[in-house]
Amino acid sequence: MVPCSKIKAFSYFLLVLLLCVPIAGAVEITGAELYTAPNNYTVGDDLFTELSVKIGHYNQNLEKVPAVFDRFVGSEEIAGRIKLENGTMLNVTLLMRGGGVGDFYSYNTSTDPNSAFGPSITVETNEQTVREILDSKDPLRKTVESMNNESFNVETTGFFRKTALWTLQQLYS
């Protein structure tokens, strides 16, 4: 049996490793321009519009994003599949550039028609969970909590991404 302190020390070692080593295999993918929500946006508009507004706020506050999260999303292609309350699916893609959202768009197919290689991170969830995260005072902690109760499922490819995801879950649970 491994003592808890050794596990914690190994976790911190992995965190330092992830912060010092660039994520291997990151691919620059171009896509649609970043969607800009209309100036007359009000709460209660569709989820895609609300996400667009929140992405704008996120990009304006990148300096406040925890380094481990910044390293996790880095320059990734993230596919989101969100089951809406009306029973339909909202399929979105976020193309990350340096931790910020470079492009954000939706599409009506199950896979992104603009993607050349496919997503390196896939998120599956429902509208209620997304809204709870958006309304939270600590969205990252709420996301990890939702991951732990399996209402926010994240799949990653590659050892470094999986390790970064595990580290996020350990730090914010």
Report DSSP state, residue 88.
Answer: -
Number of domains in the chain: 1
- Helix, strand, coil share (%) of the chain residues, nearest 5: 40, 20, 40
Q: What is the CATH number of the domain that holds 22?
A: 3.30.1050.10
Residue 105 pairs with which residues in a beta bridge? 93
Q: Name the maximum alpha-carbon separation found in the chain.
A: 59
Q: Residue 59 in contact with residue 101, Cβ under 8 Å?
A: yes
In a structure prediction context, what are the per-residue pLDDT tens digits for the chain, which is 173 residues long? 545 555 554 554 444 444 444 444 443 433 444 545 444 444 445 899 999 999 988 888 888 877 778 777 888 899 999 999 999 999 999 999 988 899 999 999 988 999 988 999 999 999 999 999 999 999 889 999 999 999 999 999 989 889 888 988 898 88
Whether the pTM exceeds 0.75: the reply is: no
Which residues span the domain enclosing 42?
A: 4-171
Collapsed DSSP state (helix, strand, coil) of residue 6: helix
